[in-house]
Structure formats: structure tokens, C-alpha cells
């Protein structure tokens, strides 16, 4: 069975409408206007569905090969067992496909039992339909309590501190890591006593062209309170042309590479150090510096959309 058909078979027939651009766009607008929050508790680690993930990852793997010519580096830097916090740069605007391919790379290297969870945007929990599939995927609520529940079971958790500020950085800044000064991930790692595995992606920011984050417009519209977002981006994307970045789009076929770096361990520090802002900032700057150096390396010699002629090690799938 073709991967797309297998994925559709794993989705409830009545839920397939979410993939229609106008339907998804309407749901996002509804959330932005402050309506449609389900009141259902955030997804938990027990909702992760390996059968659904197998179908989804088959589709993502096919798409990664055929459309994005996906490559990986350093997957063996991910610990084979025990809890760890993976910290990534965010790319691709609203549709962060390199995040999905990161999950696939870990699944293919370690198998389905090496569970990996993502700290998703609150909006994934507000909409009843999105929340159901967020749970099946392993996208947890953004609170630290959810991450600790996964760590306690020895699982992996990935977080993208820069969130929409990073994923909607302008095209001219696609070689920048923008963690936006958000240090919560450092506090989480220190309190849980887990290493940080930096994950750096390149190419995802070429699946559309972001012209502006639209921070001033977002402020005028009150999106921080309505959607927990500080951007109202202006982008060029398929098939709409010049439009809002909050409208679903068809990603451009940019070559993508994900690099997994060696774990960072803050030896000599413990849970109590999470309350020392100077210590936290020092750890944050180290992680950001390591990630920026890697993204700079990945961009060296890169041709937009085509990738690097001497790029990364091809993926194993």
C-alpha cells in the first residue's frame, strides 16, 4: 500500500477534512479570535499510538526522500537509553516538517520503543481534533510537568524554545538560530538532571520565503493573548503567493538536513541551580552557541533549495 493511503487509513474518515487548507485555516483563525478552546486536558504520554506513528512515519519517510532529499548526521549522538532533552531550532513557518523528520530519524535508529515526545504549541491542545492527533503523535502540553512524566519513564523529549519566533524568522536570517532568550529548557534539564542533545536543521526555512515576522501587527491584534503568538508573518508560499504565514501552504521542495550533536552535560550543576538566573543564562548561551556554530557549518557552501554539494551523510532509510 502506498504510504499516503496507509496514513489515510490510520485517520478517522470524518477527520480527513482537517487536511483541507481552508478548513485548517478556518480553525487557526477561530483560535486566533479566542474561540474554540476545547477545555480538554493536555495530551499525556499514555496516548502515544505506535500504530498511527508507523503509518505517519512511512508517509514522512517517503515524502522526505521524494520531496526534501532528506539527510541526517550524528544520529548516534542520541542516547540509546535513558531520558534526555533534545533542543532544536525551528524551521518552516507553520508547517515544521523537519521536526516530523527528526522523529522519523530517531524511530528508524532506535525503533518504536525508544519513545520520543514533543513539547507542542498550546494551540495543538486547544482544538479538539488537533488535540486528539497531538496525543497520538506524542505532542505534549508545553508545561514542564509533561516533560518530567516522560523523563521519569526514561523517554526522550524534544523542545523548540524559539517557537514561532524562530520558525518565522525572515529568509535573510535562515542561517541564524533564534532561541529568543527563552531559558525554560535549561531549567527543565537542570531540574530533571538530564543531558541536552542539540538538534540543528537546515533547509526547512526554504520551504517558504518569510519576508517579515510581523511582530508589530501581532501586537496590535493581541495575538499573544489570543494565540500565544508574537508574530503575524508576511510570507511568499505555494500556492498562495504573497500571504499570511498562518495560512497552510504547500512546502517548496528544499533539501533538508538534520544534525544531531553530542549531548551537553552540565557537570557539577543540580536542580537548585535552575533558580540561579546567571547560571541558567550561562548554560543557555552555551547551547545556543553550539547550535549556531553547527547551523553556520551546515550553511557553508549551501545553495538555497538545492542543498550542499558536499553535504551530510545520507539517511539510512
C-alpha 123: how far from its chain's center? 14
pLDDT band at 35 (very low <50, low <70, confident <90, very high): low
Q: Residues of 207-223 as b/e, b for ≥16 C-beta within 10 angstroms? A: bbbbebbbeeebeebeb
Q: Is 71 helix (H, G, I), strand (E, B) or coil?
A: strand
The predicted pLDDT at position 219 comes to 84
Residue 235 DSSP symbol: E
The model carries a pTM of 0.91
Q: What is the pLDDT of residues 232-259, one digit of tens each?
A: 899 999 999 999 888 889 999 999 999 9
Q: Range with the lowest mean pLDDT among 140-144, 186-190, 208-212? A: 140-144
d(CA 94, CA 212): 14
Higher per-residue confidence, 78 vs 128 = 78
d(CA 102, CA 108): 10
Q: To which residue does cell 533538508 refer?
A: 256
Cell of 298: 551546515
Amino acid at each position: 500500500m502506498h504510504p499516503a493511503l496507509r496514513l489515510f487509513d490510520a485517520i478517522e474518515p470524518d477527520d480527513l477534512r482537517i487536511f483541507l487548507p481552508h478548513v485548517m485555516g478556518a480553525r487557526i483563525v477561530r483560535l486566533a479570535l479566542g474561540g474554540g478552546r476545547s477545555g480538554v486536558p493536555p495530551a499525556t504520554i499514555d496516548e502515544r499510538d505506535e500504530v498511527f506513528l508507523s503509518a505517519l512515519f512511512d508517509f514522512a519517510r517517503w515524502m522526505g526522500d521524494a520531496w526534501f532529499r532528506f539527510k541526517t548526521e550524528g544520529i548516534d549522538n542520541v542516547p540509546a537509553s535513558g531520558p534526555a532533552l533534545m533542543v532544536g531550532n525551528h524551521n518552516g513557518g507553520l508547517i515544521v516538517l523537519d521536526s516530523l523528520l527528526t522523529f522519523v530519524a530517531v524511530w528508524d535508529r532506535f525503533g518504536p520503543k525508544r519513545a520520543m515526545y514533543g513539547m507542542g504549541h498550546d494551540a495543538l491542545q486547544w482544538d479538539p481534533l488537533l488535540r486528539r492527533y497531538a496525543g497520538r503523535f506524542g505532542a505534549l502540553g508545553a508545561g514542564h510537568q509533561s516533560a518530567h512524566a516522560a523523563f521519569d519513564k526514561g523517554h526522550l523529549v524534544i523542545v523548540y524554545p524559539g517557537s514561532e519566533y524562530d520558525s518565522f524568522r525572515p529568509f535573510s536570517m535562515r542561517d541564524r538560530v533564534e532561541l529568543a532568550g527563552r531559558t525554560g529548557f535549561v531549567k527543565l534539564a537542570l531540574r530533571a538532571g538530564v543531558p541536552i542533545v542539540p538538534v540543528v536543521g537546515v533547509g526547512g526555512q526554504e520551504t517558504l520565503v518569510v519576508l517579515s515576522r510581523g511582530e508589530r501587527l501581532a501586537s496590535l491584534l493581541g495575538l499573544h493573548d489570543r494565540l500565544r503568538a508574537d508574530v503575524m508573518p508576511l510570507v511568499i508560499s505555494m500556492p498562495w503567493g504573497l500571504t499570511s504565514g498562518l495560512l497552510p501552504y504547500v512546502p517548496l521542495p528544499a533539501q533538508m538536513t538534520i544534525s544531531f550533536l553530542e549531548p551537553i552535560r552540565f557537570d557539577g550543576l543540580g536542580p537548585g541551580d535552575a533558580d540561579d538566573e546567571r547560571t541558567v543564562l550561562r548554560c543557555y548561551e552555551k547551547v545556543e552557541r553550539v547550535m549556531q556554530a553547527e547551523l553556520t557549518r551546515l550553511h557553508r557552501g549551501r545553495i538555497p533549495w538545492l542543498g550542499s554539494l558536499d553535504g551530510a551523510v545520507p539517511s539510512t532509510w
